[in-house]
C-alpha cells in the first residue's frame, strides 16, 4: 500500500527517474513525446494509444463544447534528462495513480520501440510527498519550476513550467494557487530564483535530502 494517500484538494510532489539513473529523454523528440503524453493521458476516459486518440480528438474537437474530464491538475513540472518532477492535484478518485500508470506505460512503450529495448524504463513506482502547508507549496513550486538549475543543467534536454509562470503564456498548469500569492509575476520570479539559491546551498550541506531527488 502506498505510504502517501492521495486526497482531493491536496497537492503532491511526484517524481521518478530512469532505472539505473539512465537517461529517459535522449533528444527533443523524447521531451515532446513525454509532454504530449502528459496532456493526452490526463483523461478520465481511456484513450488507447496516442496515435489512436489523435483521430478521436479530431472528431471531438469539432463537437461544440466538448471537453475531456481530467484525472489531475498540474501545478508545475520539470523534465530533466534522467528524471522528472511534478506538482499534482488529484481531480478524480485515484486520479494520480491512474494518470501515472498510463503515463509510465505509454512512454515506456514508445521509448522501448524507438530504441529497440525491453523492460522497465523508470525506477520502480513513482515517489510522492504530500505538500502539507502553503509555505511548502511555494518552495516546492520554485524547486520544480527551476529544477534544471538545481542540477546545473541549464536548458540541456530540459523542459519546465517556469516560462509559463513568468511569461504568462500558456495554460497547461494551474498556476493561480501559487501566483495569486504574489503581487506580480516578477515578484514570483525573484522568489523562485532566491529559493533556488538557498536550496542549492542547503543541498551542498545535505540538509534537505528528503526533499530532493538526487540525479
The parent domain of residue 23 ranges over 11-204
In a domain, 213, yes or no: no
In a domain, 4, yes or no: no
What pLDDT was estimated at residue 155?
57
Parallel/antiparallel/unpaired status of strands 72-80 and 159-160: antiparallel
What pLDDT was estimated at residue 5?
77
The pTM of the full predicted model, rounded to 2 decimals, is: 0.85
- pLDDT bin (cut points 50, 70, 90) of residue 67 is low
Q: Which cell numbers in the block locate residue 213?
A: 531527488
In a domain, 145, yes or no: yes
% the chain with pLDDT above 70: 79
What pLDDT was estimated at residue 203?
62
User: In this predicted model, what pLDDT tens digit does every residue of 169-182 receive, in sequence order?
Assistant: 999 999 999 999 99
- In this predicted structure, the answer to whether residue 70 has a pLDDT above a threshold of 70 is yes
Longest dimension (CA), the chain: 55
Residue 50 sits in a domain whose CATH number is: 3.30.70.1290
In a domain, 132, yes or no: yes
In a domain, 116, yes or no: yes
In a domain, 3, yes or no: no
In a domain, 214, yes or no: no
Mean pLDDT of the chain: 85
- Cα–Cα nearest to 86, from 121, 133, 129: 129
In total, how many domains does the chain have? Answer: 1
In a domain, 212, yes or no: no
User: In this predicted model, what pLDDT tens digit does every residue of 29-61 receive, in sequence order?
Assistant: 999 999 999 999 999 987 666 655 554 454 445
User: In this predicted model, what pLDDT tens digit does every residue of 7-24 receive, in sequence order?
Assistant: 999 999 999 999 998 999
Amino acid at each position: 500500500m502506498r505510504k502517501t494517500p492521495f486526497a482531493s484538494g491536496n497537492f503532491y510532489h511526484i517524481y521518478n527517474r530512469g532505472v539505473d539513473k539512465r537517461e529517459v529523454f535522449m533528444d527533443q523528440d523524447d521531451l515532446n513525446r513525454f509532454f504530449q503524453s502528459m496532456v493526452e493521458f490526463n483523461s478520465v476516459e481511456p484513450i488507447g494509444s496516442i496515435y489512436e486518440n489523435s483521430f478521436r480528438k479530431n472528431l471531438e474537437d469539432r463537437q461544440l463544447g466538448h471537453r475531456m474530464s481530467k484525472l489531475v491538475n498540474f501545478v508545475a513540472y520539470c523534465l530533466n534528462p534522467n528524471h522528472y518532477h511534478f506538482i499534482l492535484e488529484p481531480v478524480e478518485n485515484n486520479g494520480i495513480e491512474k494518470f501515472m500508470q498510463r503515463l509510465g506505460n505509454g512512454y515506456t512503450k514508445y521509448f522501448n520501440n524507438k530504441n529497440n529495448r525491453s523492460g522497465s524504463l523508470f525506477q520502480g513506482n513513482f515517489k510522492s510527498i504530500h505538500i502539507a502547508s502553503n509555505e511548502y507549496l511555494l518552495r516546492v513550486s520554485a524547486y520544480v519550476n527551476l529544477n534544471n538549475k538545481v542540477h546545473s543543467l541549464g536548458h540541456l534536454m530540459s523542459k519546465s513550467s517556469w516560462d509559463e509562470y513568468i511569461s504568462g503564456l500558456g495554460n497547461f498548469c494551474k498556476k493561480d494557487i501559487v501566483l495569486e500569492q504574489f503581487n506580480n509575476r516578477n515578484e514570483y520570479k525573484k522568489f523562485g530564483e532566491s529559493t533556488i539559491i538557498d536550496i542549492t546551498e542547503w543541498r551542498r550541506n545535505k540538509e534537505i535530502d528528503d526533499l530532493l531527488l538526487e540525479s
